[in-house]
């Protein structure tokens, strides 16, 4: 009985009469000199597992798994440009020689078995710094000095909410220092061998804090109007673009909406994206929320943030990446095929299933190359694959689409 059922599933999986159109999700995309083999990007995923900002064995395991996932690009977690820019004392950094040496070794080790492009998200947590890892928040947000904590900084001296530390307001010297730290980390990232940089300007961290009227109450040239609030983030982005090789992409994760009355809206997002485009930024990833308490989040349904990317792409022409509950193969493919975004970024889906791109490719009738050590688990070589993952369309003939980059 089970043998007959398995044979039937295999027939359905590889029926040669099924004619498939190439999927949009597995078409290449080029930014500057880097071509991604497909449109799947692994989002930055904070691990809270560093020591003094330096990567540890956990990062080798974590990123090693993603490096053989078949995605078009992996972006390393939010990586602080200074010790006070870390979200928590356990966050990754790229501000010291030790940090740089560890990430250089990590990339070199990954490239022994994978040529997937590697990016890094550079960040400063601003007033949301010096807090605890997510699993320790029951102890409270603020980390006392005796446990390695510090006083955070921000555009204005206002705490995120009750129980958080009040940040020190940045003066002009402090702003210049932070801009220079972003540039220094950019130079280090290039020396490490990263192919791609994303600037974190969302989720209530420092650069987002300057943009939002909820958190920026300055009266100097960096506060007040929308243009003035955007000045510091744009100065940072422009300085980083100048410091990063011209052939390598640099993008920004921005906020589509603060989800708090009086905060940033999609109209602000579009204007900021245009400004980023005009200074040579290659793409934006509109996320949302987390800058202030009192958020009124819309229903978190599959693709709930896609409309932000769709409007930004339509009105600015800048390349867009989208996020937010993208979990299923046809959903992901339709986002790209319909022109709503140019790339999709997955986070929790890839933590749940590190082979997500393999399984999506199979459902869309695509064939991506697997590491030879794992090839026996592919649909072609594992008779139980249809039983585990459901019936599959046929695998088209031709060269496999690999998760790697070409440089022109």
Can you state the angle between helices 356-363 and 329-337, rounded to 10 degrees? 70
Alpha carbon distance 95, 99 (integer Å): 7
The predicted-structure confidence for 18-70, as pLDDT tens digits, reads as follows: 334 579 999 999 999 999 999 999 999 999 999 999 999 999 999 999 999 99
| In a domain? residue 327 | yes
Q: How far is CA 295 from the centre of its chain?
A: 22
Q: How many residues does the chain have?
A: 408
Q: Which two tokens stand for residue 344?
A: 């999709």
The predicted-structure confidence for 85-116, as pLDDT tens digits, reads as follows: 999 999 999 999 999 999 999 999 999 999 99
| In a domain? residue 267 | yes
| In a domain? residue 22 | no
| In a domain? residue 405 | no
Q: Mean of the per-residue pLDDT values for the chain?
A: 90
283 is catalytic: no
Alpha carbon distance 210, 222 (integer Å): 8
Instruction: Provide the pLDDT confidence category of residue 15 given band limits of 50, 70 and 90.
Output: very low
Instruction: Provide the pLDDT confidence category of residue 403 given band limits of 50, 70 and 90.
Output: very low
Instruction: Provide the pLDDT confidence category of residue 141 given band limits of 50, 70 and 90.
Output: confident
| In a domain? residue 354 | yes
Q: How many domains does the chain have?
A: 1
| In a domain? residue 284 | yes
Q: Among the options 48, 95, 205, 385, which is catalytic?
A: 205
| In a domain? residue 106 | yes
Alpha carbon distance 401, 24 (integer Å): 13
Q: Which two tokens stand for residue 49?
A: 């597992």
Instruction: Provide the pLDDT confidence category of residue 138 given band limits of 50, 70 and 90.
Output: low
CA gyration radius for the chain? 22
The CATH number of whichever domain residue 284 belongs to comes to 3.20.20.70
Task: Give me the torsion for CA of 375, 381, 382, 385, rounded to 10°.
Answer: 90
Give the range among 18-22, 183-187, 239-243, 340-344 with minimum mean pLDDT: 18-22
Distances, alpha carbon 174 to alpha carbons 154, 168, 177, 178, 232, in Å = 10, 10, 5, 6, 12
| In a domain? residue 17 | no
> Taking 90 as the threshold, does the pLDDT of residue 381 lie above it?
no
Quick one: CA dihedral 131, 107, 57, 73, positive or negative?
positive
Looking at residue 149, its pLDDT comes to: 86
Distances, alpha carbon 97 to alpha carbons 93, 130, 259, in Å = 10, 22, 39
Domain residues for the domain of 66 are 29-369
DSSP bridge partners of 169: 154
CB 234 within 8 Å of CB 216: no
């Amino acid at each position: 009985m089970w043998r007959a059922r398995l044979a039937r599933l295999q027939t359905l999986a590889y029926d040669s009469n099924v004619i498939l159109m190439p999927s949009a999700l597995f078409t290449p995309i080029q930014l500057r000199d880097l071509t991604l083999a497909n449109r799947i990007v692994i989002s930055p995923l904070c691990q809270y597992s560093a020591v003094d900002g330096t990567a540890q064995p956990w990062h080798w395991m974590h990123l090693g798994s993603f490096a053989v996932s078949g995605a078009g690009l992996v972006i390393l977690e939010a990586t602080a440009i200074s010790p006070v820019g870390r979200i928590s004392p356990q966050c990754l950094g790229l501000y010291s020689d030790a940090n740089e040496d560890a990430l250089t070794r990590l990339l070199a080790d990954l490239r022994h078995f994978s040529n997937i492009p590697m990016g890094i998200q550079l960040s400063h947590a601003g007033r949301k710094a010096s807090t605890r890892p997510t699993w320790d928040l029951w102890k409270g947000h603020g980390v006392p000095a005796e446990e390695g904590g510090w006083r955070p900084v921000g555009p204005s001296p206002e705490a995120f909410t009750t129980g958080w530390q009040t940040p020190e307001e940045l003066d002009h010297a402090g702003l210049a220092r932070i801009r220079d730290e972003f540039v220094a980390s950019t130079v280090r990232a290039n020396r490490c061998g990263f192919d791609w940089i994303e600037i974190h300007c969302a989720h209530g961290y420092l650069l987002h804090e300057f943009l939002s009227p909820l958190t920026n109450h300055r009266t100097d040239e960096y506060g007040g109007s929308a243009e003035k609030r955007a000045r510091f983030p744009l100065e940072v982005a422009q300085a980083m673009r100048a410091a990063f090789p011209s052939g390598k992409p640099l993008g920004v994760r921005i906020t589509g909406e603060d989800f708090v009355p009086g905060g940033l809206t999609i109209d602000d997002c579009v204007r900021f994206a245009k400004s980023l485009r005009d200074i040579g930024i290659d793409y934006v990833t509109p996320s949302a929320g987390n800058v202030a308490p009192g958020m009124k989040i819309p229903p978190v349904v599959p693709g709930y943030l896609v409309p932000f990317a769709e409007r930004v792409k339509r009105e600015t022409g800048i390349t867009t990446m989208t996020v937010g509950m993208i979990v299923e193969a046809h959903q992901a493919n339709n986002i790209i095929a319909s022109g709503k975004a140019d790339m999709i970024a997955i986070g929790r889906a890839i933590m749940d299933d590190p082979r997500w791109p393999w399984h999506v490719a199979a459902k869309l009738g695509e064939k991506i190359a697997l590491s030879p050590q794992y090839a026996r688990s592919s649909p072609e070589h594992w008779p139980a694959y249809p039983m585990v993952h459901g019936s599959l369309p046929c695998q088209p003939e031709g060269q496999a689409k690999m998760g790697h980059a070409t440089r022109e």
